[in-house]
Amino acid sequence: MFGLGRRRKAESEASAQPVDHQDTTTITQHEGQTLGKTNWKNLIPVIACGAGLFSDGYINNVIGSVVTILDREYEDVWRNSNAKKYVGDIAFAGTVVGMLLFGYSSDKWSRTNSLLVSTIILIIFAALAAGSYYKGDTVGMFNILTAWRFFVGVGIGGEYPAGSVGCAENTGELKSGQRNMWFILFTNSMIDWGFVIGAFVPYVVSAACDNKHLSTIWRTSLGIGVVFPLVLFVLRLFVSEPEEFQKNSMKHARTPYRLVLKFYGFRLFIVSLIWFIYDFSAYSFGIYSPKIVANIYPAGSSLTTIFGWNTVINLFYIPGTMLGAPVSDLLGPRYALALGVFLQAIVGFIMAACYSSLAQPSRVAAFAVVYGIFQSLGELGPGNNIGLIAAKTCATGIRGQYYGLAAAVGKIGAFVGTWVFPYIEKAGGGDERLAAQYPFWVSSSLCVLSAALVLFCIPHIGQDTIQVEDARFRTFLEENGYDTRQLGLRKGEEMMEAEDVMPVEKRASPQ
């Protein structure tokens, strides 16, 4: 349970017991190829599969700037429209649908083909969103924009189970001791850079338009979101299925969901719960950002001023994700997540306790620095590692569905947070200080809970955990009467026991 692991001699046989009590180094020494090599040939599939999450960061962040422009351009027509309520969040609903849909297709059809389809959806509807129009009717145009945003979310959702899962599987070809770092750099770091560029592009376009031609600014900002997935689509045309997927796919086999739940049900629940708490909490922490911005510039400031400061605030994510990436290899994803979320909780408690002193215009610089540290710790911990944990704590045959479901629960946590936090704030009554503090006390406490869950309920995750999980799950299926000869992209394909997997003799215990 504690995931500390037990080291054995290289020549000893590894059993099929839970990962947290299994010697993952035995596989590395037993299989020379698992040592891997980091070169461009091996990195290209990792980049192609994972980097699409840049679009998630860009498209979900740029809409904030677009809403600001729409409010200025259309004023009361926009403010009184239903689209104002939904255009910012509707993509999250589409993302949940995409996660579940492509999670299934990436397991039962193809990792790479699912990724190509989701990329095509993203390109088409991102372009349509930029060109939103409805018979010259402004409100109709708002509604069309909202509809296109939903389908953009579906495309983004496909990037999670198809892209991140493929990225994790392809890291097995890289040098041992660097695999977690490369996964993070081309998944969560891409999201964070998408946030930064999504804030910076509206700034550049606004400056080029001299804060005029508002329709051109928001349409161009949305349209630029097509460029990156278009380039990535070409790269993905040359990517083949990951080796582990070729060996252990359930494409031609009946998925034994009862056995899957028996073996992975509890673990999936814990991973989903941690992701739910992370996204739930992230929304309460976001209330500090408007306070910073409000103190930095007065009402009615130019778009370049607003978007410039928005870019600076989003840059706070980068140190945490970039510097934290090697930490996940050094400490392991469990301890890296626990460390980040625990330190984040401490900073959150401090910010809540000192809210009255910090939330003053004269102290905005100190406030921004503390807030930046807080954001960076969030990226070092759950931001970097929750996706990594979800991608590596299950077997290849059901990894897309496992990951997609966990990620979807996380997004639902974000929705729940938006509904619950107003009630938490109302508990403060008419006291503005208490209304701002209460969500932070709750969320920081949940951070501590997340640290406990990952330390005590998630197994050790080593460099070869994907291979270990496949071996454990295959043995478990065989011992429960399932014909594992069905596994693989070719019907009846068998794994090469002498070269490709660790020998397993004991019964695999479900966790």
**Cα 369 to the chain's mean position, in Å?**
25
> How confident is residue 7, by pLDDT bands cut at 50, 70 and 90?
very low
> How confident is residue 498, by pLDDT bands cut at 50, 70 and 90?
very low
Residue owning tokens 């990535």: 232
- Per residue in 414-451, pLDDT (tens digit) is 878 877 877 887 887 777 677 777 877 888 899 899 99
211 token code pair = 């804060």
**pLDDT at 249 > cutoff 80:** yes
Q: Are 510 and 256 in contact (CB under 8 A)?
A: no
**Cα 338 to the chain's mean position, in Å?**
17
How many alpha carbons fall within 13 Å on the CB side of residue 477? Answer: 25
Element (H, E) at 489: none
Farthest-apart Cα atoms in the chain, separation = 74
* In the chain, % of residues over pLDDT 70: 85
> How confident is residue 241, by pLDDT bands cut at 50, 70 and 90?
very high
pLDDT for the residue 287: 56
Mean pLDDT to the nearest integer, 213-240: 93
- Per residue in 315-370, pLDDT (tens digit) is 989 999 999 999 999 999 999 999 999 999 998 888 888 877 776 767 777 777 88
Q: Are 113 and 411 in contact (CB under 8 A)?
A: no
Residues 6+ apart with CB under 8 A from 342: 381, 447, 448, 451
- Helix ranges (DSSP H) in 383-464: 384-392, 399-426, 432-457
Mean pLDDT to the nearest integer, 240-263: 93
- Per residue in 190-210, pLDDT (tens digit) is 999 999 999 999 999 999 999
CA dist 28 and 280 (Å) reads: 38
pLDDT for the residue 20: 40
Amino acid at 477: L
Q: Are 450 and 382 in contact (CB under 8 A)?
A: yes
Higher pLDDT, 500 or 309: 309
Residue 337, CA distances (Å) to 21, 41, 393 in order: 20, 30, 15
pLDDT for the residue 35: 60
Mean pLDDT to the nearest integer, 263-287: 85
Candidate from 90-94, 164-168, 348-352, 420-424 with smallest mean pLDDT: 420-424
Q: Which of 19, 25, 15 is nearest to 479 (CA)?
A: 15
* In the chain, % of residues over pLDDT 90: 53
**pLDDT at 257 > cutoff 70:** yes
Q: Which of 345, 31, 349 is nearest to 337 (CA)?
A: 345
Q: Which of 359, 382, 380, 362 is nearest to 371 (CA)?
A: 359
How many alpha carbons fall within 13 Å on the CB side of residue 64? Answer: 19
pLDDT for the residue 346: 92
pLDDT for the residue 324: 94
377 token code pair = 């710790």
Candidate from 122-126, 376-380, 416-420, 481-485 with smallest mean pLDDT: 416-420
Residues 6+ apart with CB under 8 A from 285: 348, 374, 375, 378, 440, 443
CA dist 303 and 64 (Å) reads: 12
Q: Residue 96 in 3-state DSSP?
A: helix
Residue owning tokens 């104002």: 84
Q: Are 276 and 410 in contact (CB under 8 A)?
A: yes
- Per residue in 27-54, pLDDT (tens digit) is 333 333 456 677 788 899 999 999 999 9
pLDDT for the residue 200: 94
pLDDT for the residue 369: 83
**Cα 481 to the chain's mean position, in Å?**
36
365 token code pair = 């610089």
Q: Which of 443, 267, 413 is nearest to 351 (CA)?
A: 443
**pLDDT at 17 > cutoff 70:** no
Q: At what angle do helices 384-392 and 257-285 cross, to 10 degrees?
A: 180
Residues 6+ apart with CB under 8 A from 193: 54, 57, 318
Residues 6+ apart with CB under 8 A from 77: 138, 139
Residues 6+ apart with CB under 8 A from 386: 271, 274, 275, 278, 337, 410
Residue 39, CA distances (Å) to 29, 42, 44, 168 in order: 21, 6, 9, 16
Mean pLDDT to the nearest integer, 291-312: 77
- Helix ranges (DSSP H) in 212-256: 214-223, 227-236, 243-248
The 3-class SS string of 296-319 reads: HCCCCCCHHHHHHHHHHHHCCHHH
